[in-house]
Structure 1
Amino acid sequence: MQSADIIQLGQRCVEHYLADNEFTAFKSWQINMGGLSLLDGDYHVSRILQQHLIVLTVKGRGVWHADEPILEHINVGDILYVPAGSQFNYTACALHGWQTVWFILPTGGFWQTFPEHIKLIPASKLRYQDLALQCTQILQNMLQERFSDDPLTQQMHQTYAQQLFILLKRQLQQLNGAVDLNVKRIQSLFRKIALHPEEKWTVERMCQQCNYSRAHLFRLCQQTFACSPLQKLTKIRMQKAQLLLKTTQLPIQQIADSVGYDNAFNFSTRFKQSMNISPSQYRILASEIS
């Protein structure tokens, strides 16, 4: 029988939340929420979420109280996977406290290969043991810039969110074994596009490169990148354009040519749609910040 929710957060506990309604970059990478928790003293949570939960221990120790699975402690470097609909029940260690970084993820989409049952992966079995520290640093960086709303900050948030996605997804792939062949193929395609964004890329050419139908290519892009093939192509081109605008004095027309646009007007229009600022304004703003 499902027990009533318990949420006890003592006065010495501090939690910082980053939700996708505030950090819209999370939506691009299907992260509902991330958080940093410093738990000391009276801390006890027992509940069932309708989304997936990942908890990484940075310092101290968590104490597991749920009947299933049979666990005891959640130690430094461990990763706890709690799939949607699972009952979890834990407290902070009374002696050492518990510092965690955690994420709430939607079901399906990028996270459809999430473990079916609660799993605790000890640090000794992880290939990347500093994952908790990396995720903590990224969330702290995002918190420091949470009240900035300029285009460069929004782009930085996108970069941070993408880093989190890669770190978490890589661990899930390690947990699930070999990376799906379709994922490898689609990633290889867009790595090639990133190396040559100036070429005439069309959906038909992408399909030929992967030997996929249009429908299958679209479905895989949605699952892997949360966007269509053409949206992913545009993101790659805009990222290179931003780099060239920040690091060179190339004319706008030459930058347009370098990222696959026939004329500066079409490029500028697309850039402004993506960044809410013109290429010239972006270059000025980037030089002022640097």
Structure 2
Amino acid sequence: MEYIDTFTISPKCQSIIIDQVQSIELEKQKILQCGINYGKEAFSIYRRSPDMYMLLYTTGGKGLLKTSNGEWALETGSVIYVPPNYENGFIINPDENPDLIWDVAWVMLENHKYWDKSLPHDITYQDSQSGSLLFKTIICLSESLSFNYPLGDALCKSITEQICLLVNTQTASHSPKALTRLEHVYQQTKSQLHHPWQVSDLAALYPCSEPHFHRLCQQYYHQSPIAYLTQIRMEHAAGLLTTTNWSIQHISDLCGYPNPTNFSTRFKSWSSFTPRQFRTQFKPQL
């Protein structure tokens, strides 16, 4: 298979691309380019003989990397390392991905002995815990470029060092893939605890059928999907009760219980204290 350098990007995609022209800190750290893409419908890039290391971190949806040596299906929570001089193309993977979504963070590194010491010399695919943080870090780097000297320079230097740390530290997850995907589902619920989550919603995020999602939660958490979500909500409520002066009603709303009486009943069942008693007992005294 022989590729020509080309790309196809749907108007529905949203990208951030940062190179050495925009940030001298990237040049200092031997980083050619970094970026993110919210892929939708069509996102494909083909390179014939890239003289660089390429790292692709999948943070949502599914991608597909093709080379003359084979194909790799890129799942959420993974990273693939492609050394220099491997002709390749990557696209949104349509398999079990009806919305054609692929969210990815990438880092392109110079073909330099500095990276030879820390990165694989063959195409390597593995789970990674770094992708989501790297995605956010690149967004922060993009925003820091708009700040004036000296703050802008200091931010770029610090953020670029963080990117290097994430790239150099191969944080592979040692958890089973099913558990890693479950944790991604519940990580999303933590950012929206006020949402009236149903098992159907959680299963769709995985994605799988409701009965299969229920079996996975029983296997790994020894609880039903909603029971585990309730535990997360109660733990969050406990933290708010002991670190803020917010009203019980406000905390109840934030944790997904519009009815404070229902919240108090659930909280007491979980902790053996009413929310007010818990706050009195455990909030640090100034």
Alignment correspondent of 1:101: 105
The one-letter amino acid paired with 1:167 is L
- Distance in 1 (alpha carbons) for counterparts of 2:90 and 2:151: 40
Q: 1:65 to 1:106 in 2, by over 3 A?
A: closer
- Distance in 1 (alpha carbons) for counterparts of 2:139 and 2:8: 24
1:11 aligns with 2:16: no
Q: 1:158 to 1:75 in 2, by over 3 A?
A: same
The one-letter amino acid paired with 1:120 is Y
Alignment of 1:107-126 (within 5 A): 107-113=111-117, 114-121=119-126, 123=127, 126=128
1:159 aligns with 2:163: no
Contact 2:3/2:88 (8 A) holds in 1: no
Structure number with the higher strand fraction is: 2
Alignment correspondent of 2:86: 86
Which segments of structure 1 move beyond 6 Å, counting only runs of 4 or more? none
Alignment of 1:58-207 (within 5 A): 58-71=59-72, 73-94=73-94, 95=98, 96-113=100-117, 114-121=119-126, 123=127, 126=128, 129=129, 131-171=130-170
The one-letter amino acid paired with 2:4 is A
Alignment of 1:248-287 (within 5 A): none
- Distance in 2 (alpha carbons) for counterparts of 1:134 and 1:118: 23
Please give the secondary structure, in 2, of the residue aligned with 1:171.
Answer: coil
Contact 2:66/2:90 (8 A) holds in 1: yes
Deviation (angstroms), 1:67: 4.1
- Distance in 1 (alpha carbons) for counterparts of 2:155 and 2:66: 39
TM-score (norm 2): 0.54
Deviations 1:49-107 (A, max 9, x none): 11111000010000234342343x10011111111110112211342410000011011
Structure 2 gap segments, 5+ residues each: 173-286
Alignment correspondent of 1:45: 45
Alignment correspondent of 1:208: none
Please give the secondary structure, in 2, of the residue aligned with 1:3.
Answer: coil
Deviation (angstroms), 1:158: 0.5
- Distance in 2 (alpha carbons) for counterparts of 1:70 and 1:90: 9
Identity, % of aligned positions: 15
Structure 1 gap segments, 5+ residues each: 175-290
Deviations 1:1-53 (A, max 9, x none): 63323311111122211111111111222211100111111222221311111
TM-score (norm 1): 0.53
- Distance in 1 (alpha carbons) for counterparts of 2:17 and 2:148: 18
Alignment correspondent of 1:2: 2
- Distance in 1 (alpha carbons) for counterparts of 2:134 and 2:69: 27
Alignment correspondent of 1:27: 27
- Distance in 1 (alpha carbons) for counterparts of 2:162 and 2:145: 17
Q: CA RMSD in A?
A: 2.1
